[in-house]
């Protein structure tokens, strides 16, 4: 479908330059709307599928509670080792010249 829209536009460009009145502007507008709608729907569907796949991987990797549970465990380790406050490892700003 995208290829057909692009072919329509490619064929319309020279005619628009030489004989602008010979092109059905409404058809170009409808083609543009179709192109935009298809692109938005297609990308939205891809994002949803990727999100679902990520959720599955996350649960397999980190367990039932996923990332939140892993984050709590890591925070506990950081607290136990005294490295939870990252500011203690941040060097001071350089002196002004």
The segments of the chain whose pLDDT lies below 70 read 1-2
| Domain-wise residue ranges, the chain | 2-88
pLDDT given for residue 5 in this prediction: 72
pLDDT given for residue 1 in this prediction: 63
pLDDT tens sequence across 3-20: 777 777 788 888 888 887
0.85 cut: is pTM over it? no
HEC secondary structure over the chain? CHHHHHHHHHHHHHHHHHCHHHCCHHHHHHHHHHHHHHHHHHHHHHHHHHHHHHHHHHHHHHCCCHHHHHHHHHHHHHHHHCCCCHHHHCCCCCCCC
């Amino acid at each position: 479908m995208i290829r057909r829209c692009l072919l329509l536009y490619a064929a319309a460009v020279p005619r628009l330059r030489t004989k602008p009145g010979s092109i059905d502007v409404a058809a170009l507008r409808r083609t543009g709307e179709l192109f935009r709608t298809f692109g938005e729907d297609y990308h939205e569907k891809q994002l949803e599928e990727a999100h679902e796949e990520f959720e599955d991987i996350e649960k397999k990797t980190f367990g039932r509670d996923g990332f939140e549970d892993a984050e709590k465990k890591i925070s506990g380790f950081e607290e136990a080792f005294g490295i939870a406050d990252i500011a203690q490892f941040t060097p001071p700003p350089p002196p002004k010249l």
